[in-house]
Structure 1
């Protein structure tokens, strides 16, 4: 095939493509009444996986771009010191259990002493009534009974103390083991790892971020609408998203949030003249059932156009019929 023929065919293809895109743009710009057009970027809910307690990073098991599911281990914190504290608390529990056993044995001993003291007191009282025992001897027996009863009460108190020590030690062990579970960082939800913020060996304070996830089932586009359009907008109103990277697809969305206060449009969204206007931020949410099918291709930061239906009775143009891959 001659070079001229190839160039002619290539030029024709380019012309058709450009012409088609120009026609599509014209269709979008010439919206019927009841619709409004705005620019925005695709965003996803971001979740930071961070440390509850400060410590040294032992392992980071997730890489940037990796998909994770709820419960997947993404990082491990060095828990050597905490495990030593758990062993010490468990040893304290065993010691308290031994003290409880000793206190119970002492109670049995003190109960025998009380029984003996009471029996001797009764015999002495009988002997005293018959003239065979002195008043001093009777007073000694009564003192012995009082001492034995006091010793028994002390032994019962030692049992209560030992039981309280066991409960405290067991509670400490449970708390430490609960903390140990927090040394294993897991993904809280489905998502893609966006950033890996820490490396093995780094020491982070409590709250230090290790992994940032993007929840690709919670994707939205923020747009900014003028006061007139935002005032007519209803929560749940339908919208369509068309991304610059794939203008052949029309993605369904709906209004989930409208700001309560007006603001100037961020300069990265609109032209300089439009930035001078006060607008309301509107969040357009993509249905989760749609996102579940396309998690592998969803990307954040992609710019695009949103067409929002501000009038419920308005009919969607044919060019804005939902089209998905």
Structure 2
């Protein structure tokens, strides 16, 4: 008999333990029953969902090596803040080569400009020579005419006419040569103009390459597109990523909403802008205000071709309710996405909200002391 006493005590402890567990569970159940909305009026429709937010992947535009990651998971970041720096050694070498090509093209353009000015001067000089040759030809022509008349009258020997004829032919040849020089100079202008245009195009091409490389260098510094919180760090320093490789994922905590589903009998009466209330499973004592921003126009579950009334009642429509960004800003440190809960929508705007769905928010978190006040504190 004495050997059985310890066994009885052990059994008694187990009974007391299970009794305590049942008491705690019962108390929790009763507390949940008191906190959850019950006896909702017909003017309130409800559906379950999860808190969601706009996710953004911080990814590379082109392949490269991760040089520096400046944030950690859970960090809050501001729009424009530098998050990741990629290795840009190759891009910087490409930029130096492209800038050298720009200078080379600019030098070629300057040379073409100088040569073009020289060609224009050559045309001017050749044109002056043409004018001179034309004057000489006019003079020689008159002399030849007088010599011809005097030889015909017998006042001059025929040799004088031969000399005048030779001078006339020489003047004509000189004028033709001068005119050829003008044509040649003008052709050289056309060629040089083409070279100048080609050099200008080379400058534009080289400058375009420089701008592209500078854009790639700018994209090698990954910045936050908006305010948010870092959720995932997918790559580490030193890793080589391809184009579009994800380094970080962030969530925009100013755009938080719950997506839930309502039957067609309720969804058909929900308008954009209707008031909603969100109650999270993790904090059922709080009621968060929201507004409906989306109601699907197409059923999600039952096909549209269903004819029977019973089956039509299974039609479910996606509804989305957003939380006010100003309210989110006040509780930014407490916002957690992915938390399940219930959404309640008032489908009759004139009906008041029941007491259990009155807005109840936690106390606002204390703001962090500034650096100056912290320094002044004893």
| Over 4 Å off, 4+ runs | 10-18
Counterpart mapping for 1:295-306 below 5 A: 295-306=332-343
Q: Is the 8 A contact 2:58 2:249 kept in 1?
A: yes
Q: Which whole-Å CA distance do the structure 2 matches of 1:158 and 1:50 have between them?
A: 44
Aligned match of 2:132 in 114, 123, 126? Answer: 123
What residue in structure 1 maps to residue 236 of structure 2?
Answer: 199
Aligned match of 1:290 in 304, 320, 327? Answer: 327
- Offset of residue 14 of structure 1: 8.3
Three-state SS of the structure 1 residue aligned to 2:199 is helix
Aligned match of 1:162 in 184, 192, 199? Answer: 199
Q: Which whole-Å CA distance do the structure 1 matches of 2:269 and 2:189 have between them?
A: 83
- Offset of residue 240 of structure 1: 0.9
- Offset of residue 18 of structure 1: 4.9
Three-state SS of the structure 2 residue aligned to 1:29 is coil
Q: Which whole-Å CA distance do the structure 2 matches of 1:11 and 1:205 have between them?
A: 56
Q: Is the 8 A contact 1:33 1:314 kept in 2?
A: no
What residue in structure 2 maps to residue 179 of structure 1?
Answer: 216
What residue in structure 2 maps to residue 22 of structure 1?
Answer: 33
Aligned match of 1:49 in 17, 34, 58? Answer: 58
Deviations 1:253-300 (A, max 9, x none): 1111112222239xxxxxxxxxx9331111111111110111111111
Q: Which whole-Å CA distance do the structure 1 matches of 2:274 and 2:120 have between them?
A: 81
- Offset of residue 98 of structure 1: 1.2
- Offset of residue 65 of structure 1: 0.9
Deviations 1:75-98 (A, max 9, x none): 122222222221112111111221
Q: Which has the higher strand share?
A: 1
Q: Is the 8 A contact 1:103 1:155 kept in 2?
A: yes
Three-state SS of the structure 2 residue aligned to 1:38 is strand
Aligned match of 1:278 in 297, 302, 315? Answer: 315
Deviations 1:38-64 (A, max 9, x none): 222111111112222222222222211
Counterpart mapping for 1:208-227 below 5 A: 208-227=245-264
Q: Which runs of 5+ in 1 are unaligned?
A: 1-6, 266-275
Q: Which has the higher helix share?
A: 2
Q: Is the 8 A contact 2:35 2:285 kept in 1?
A: no
Q: Is the 8 A contact 2:77 2:224 kept in 1?
A: yes
Max Rg structure? 2
